Amino acid sequence: MRPARGRSASAEASAAPRDPIGVTRARRGGILNSRVPDLAALLPPAEASLLALLAVSFLAATLLPLASEVWLLALLAARPDLWPAALAVATVGNTAGSLTTYALGRLGRVAVDPAALASPRAAWLQRRGAPALLLAWLPFVGDALCVLAGWLELPAVPVALWIALGKLARYAALVWLFLNST
């Protein structure tokens, strides 16, 4: 396509409609094969993407089998400039989900046989205390630790701080590895 008379090719490209991630459709069309779906154009704006990441991160920290890491990395692939916000949102959402699991454990204490609290796992967590919740990011183990911390009525503030620190470290490592892998 030839530029209009008096206009350069760069002026023509800047006049092309822009999508939510800020890449002109004309330029991206030259990069991607026309048979490949234009996934970047399907992504919602940054605010909606971050809200979706918050929701998925929250739900992934409950007993639902979701992978918030996939959502985080997909967002970073489309918008690497959002890494600080994405890191914060994923950490806050996942921490809130773990604290919800902790609260359910605390509320469920009335329905639990006291003998169950004498298990070796409960004794291990009671000996280690809230710092053991630094491992709350681990799949399967993390959910159990949060529920058990609630059952044992470990203090909420140290629990929240150790959970948040573990989640932040995990997401920060993922973000750093992803952004420095190219």
The predicted-structure confidence for 126-153, as pLDDT tens digits, reads as follows 777 888 888 888 887 888 888 888 988 8
Spell out the SS3 assignment of 98-136.
HHHHHHHHHHHHHHCCHHHHHCHHHHHHHHHCHHHHHHC
Measured in whole angstroms, how far is the alpha carbon of residue 182 from the centre of its chain?
21
Separation of alpha carbons 147 and 168, rounded Å: 20
Separation of alpha carbons 116 and 81, rounded Å: 48
Residues 157-180 have pLDDT tens digits of 999 999 999 999 999 999 999 999
Other Cβ atoms closer than 10 A to 106: 18
For the chain, the structural domain boundaries read 1-42, 44-179
Higher pLDDT, 124 or 60: 60
110: confidence class by pLDDT, cuts 50, 70, 90: low
- In degrees, rounded to 5, the angle at the alpha carbon of residue 31 between the alpha carbons of residues 27 and 36 is 120
Average pLDDT over residues 62-89: 90
Other Cβ atoms closer than 10 A to 100: 16
pLDDT at 57: 94
pLDDT at 112: 61
Predicted structure pTM score: 0.69
**Per this entry, what is the length of the chain?**
182
pLDDT at 1: 46
pLDDT at 63: 75
Residue type, 74: A
What tokens appear for 26 in the block?
Answer: 């004309």
pLDDT at 97: 94
Higher pLDDT, 109 or 144: 144
Residues 74-86 have pLDDT tens digits of 999 988 999 999 9
pLDDT at 84: 95
Average pLDDT over residues 54-62: 92
What tokens appear for 56 in the block?
Answer: 């998925």
Higher pLDDT, 111 or 126: 126
Other Cβ atoms closer than 10 A to 132: 19
Residues 4-55 have pLDDT tens digits of 555 555 454 445 444 444 444 444 444 434 443 454 455 567 778 898 999 9
**Contact predicate 87/175, CB 8 Å:** yes
Separation of alpha carbons 89 and 57, rounded Å: 8
